[in-house]
Amino acid sequence: MIDCGLFQGLKELRLRNWDEFPVPPGSLDAVVLTHAHLDHVGYLPRLTANGYKGRVFCTPGTKDLCQLVLPDAGRIQEEDARQANKHGYSKHDPALPLFGESDALRALTYLQPLGFERPIDVAPGISIEFHPAGHLLGSAFVVVRLSDGPRILFGGDLGRYNRPILPDPSVAIAADVVLVESTYGDRDHQADDSGAQLAVVIRKTAGRHGKLVIPAFAIGRVEELLYWVRRLEAEHRIPVLPVYVDSPMATDALRYYSARVAELDPGLRPTSGQVYAFATTRFQTIASPQQSKELTASRRPAVVISSSGMATGGRVLHHLAAALPDEKNTVLFVGYQAVGTRGRQLVDGVREVRIHGRDVPVNASVAKIDSMSAHADRGEILRWLGTLGSAPRRLCLVHGEQGPMDALKTLIHDRLSWAPYTPQHGETIEL
C-alpha cells in the first residue's frame, strides 16, 4: 500500500475516513509512505489499530515529521469528539474519535526508515526505492519494481523548482506505469518575487511601530518565511526586528529540518554555532504558554509566526485577538485559506471576527502573499514528466479535484502528445 492518508476538507470526503477499509488491514504485506502530510499518513493509526501487522517504510525525514503530526492528529480527533459530546452535535452517542493519541504513538513504532536510492524488498517479489521529491522534508517519489512485472512510479506530492528550502524534485525514473498528482493542474503559481512583497509588508508595519502576526502551517512554511526574513535582513531590505516562532510543533519541525540540512537546498547552510539553519538576527522560539502570553501582551514591534495557518486553532488565535484591534499591526497570510475558516474571513475583509467566544474588531491591516506553495504547478508537473524521456505505457493523474485533473489531462495531451488517464476513487486498473 502506497500512502495511508486521511480524507480532509468537505464533510462528504471526511466521512470516507469512517468507511470500512477496502481489504482487511491484516492482509497487507507492507505500507510505503511518500511524505508526512496528513492526507498521506493520517490513516496509519487507524490501520494499525485495526490489525495491520507489517512494516511501514518511509524516509528518515518522514519518520521525524510523523512523530509530530500523528500524535497531534490523535489529540485533535479526541478533542473534536469531546466537543461533539459536550454540545451534543454528533449523531453518534457517544461520539468517538477516529483514533486517539495512544493509537498514533503505537503507529509510530511500525515506521521503518529507509534512505533515498536504497532499493529494498518490502514483500515477496516487490521492491521499492525512494527518490527526493522536493515537497517537504523527507518527501519522496517511489519506484516499485515487481519481479517479472511492470515497473510503477508513484509520484507522491511533487515539489517545486528553484525554491529556497528544498532541492528540486529529482529526475523521474522511467517506468511502465506512472502516477502523478494534479493538485494545481490548472494553474501557474505567482512568480517568485525574491521576497519583495514580504519586504513591503514588514517595512510598512515597522514604519507604524506595529506588530506583524503571520499565521503559518507549522511544517515547511515556517522554514520558508524565516529564510526570506533572514535574507531580507542580510540584504538590508528590512529593519532587523525580533522574530518569534510561537508554536511547539513548528519549533520541533525547525529542529528536524536543521538536523537534516544535507537534504535541503545546497544554498542553505547554517552559520556556525546556530541551532537552526533558519535563524534570523534576533530570533527566538517560544516554549512555555507563559512566554507566549507575555509575547501576546507585548506591544513592541516584532514579527510573530504562529500556527495554525488558517487561524482555526492554536496559539495564533491569542496573537490575533490581541493584534487585530490595533491599526498599527498587520496580519499576513501566506497560505491557502479554506472556505469557512477565520483566515478566509479575514482575507475576505470582515470588520469583526469571533475568537474564543468574543467578537474582535479588525482594525489592523490584513495582507496575503500567494507565492509560497509546496506543490508543483502545471508547468512544473510538465517539466518533471518531461524528465521521463519517453511516454510511459500508462500515465494516471491522481490527487486532484476533477477540474484541475481534467485541465492537466488536456495540457499533457497538447504539449507531450501523451494520453493520460484519470482514474476514479476505488477504481481497479489492470497492469
Please state, as a whole number, how many other Cβ atoms lie within 10 Å of the Cβ of residue 265: 16
With CA atoms as reference, report the closest residue to 52 among 73, 24, 19, 33: 24
Instruction: State the pairing for strand pair 126-132/140-146.
Output: antiparallel
Residue number with CB closer to Zn ion (37 or 63): 37
DSSP H or E run through 103: helix 101-108
Smallest distance, Zn ion to C-beta of residue 66, A: 13
Smallest distance, Zn ion to C-beta of residue 43, A: 14
Residue number with CB closer to Zn ion (229 or 397): 397
Residue number with CB closer to Zn ion (103 or 157): 157
Cα–Cα distance list, 128 to 2, 57, 114, 143, 176 (Å)? 10, 9, 10, 6, 15
Smallest distance, Zn ion to C-beta of residue 142, A: 14
317 vs 339: CA distance, rounded Å: 18
369 vs 221: CA distance, rounded Å: 12
> Cβ distance 232 to 241 under 8 Å?
no
User: If you write DSSP's letter for every residue of 43-98 in order, what string do you get?
Assistant: THHHHHHTT--SEEEE-HHHHHHHHHHHHHHHHHHHHHHHHHHHHT--SSSS---S
> Cβ distance 124 to 53 under 8 Å?
no
Smallest distance, Zn ion to C-beta of residue 375, A: 7
Residue number with CB closer to Zn ion (37 or 318): 37
In 319-385, DSSP assigns E strands to 330-333, 352-355, 358-361, 365-368
C-alpha cell at 377: 504547478
Residues near Zn ion (CB under 5 A): 37, 157
Cα–Cα distance list, 397 to 83, 176, 177 (Å)? 38, 14, 11
DSSP H or E run through 430: none
Residue 106 makes CB contacts below 8 A (sequence gap 6+) with: 45, 48, 49
Smallest distance, Zn ion to C-beta of residue 159, A: 9
Smallest distance, Zn ion to C-beta of residue 209, A: 38
327 vs 322: CA distance, rounded Å: 11
C-alpha cell at 147: 519481479
99 vs 73: CA distance, rounded Å: 9
Residue number with CB closer to Zn ion (39 or 252): 39
Residue number with CB closer to Zn ion (77 or 139): 139
Smallest distance, Zn ion to C-beta of residue 333, A: 19
> Cβ distance 112 to 57 under 8 Å?
yes
Residue number with CB closer to Zn ion (157 or 223): 157
Smallest distance, Zn ion to C-beta of residue 219, A: 10
Smallest distance, Zn ion to C-beta of residue 134, A: 11
Residue number with CB closer to Zn ion (37 or 230): 37
Residue number with CB closer to Zn ion (37 or 163): 37
Smallest distance, Zn ion to C-beta of residue 153, A: 17
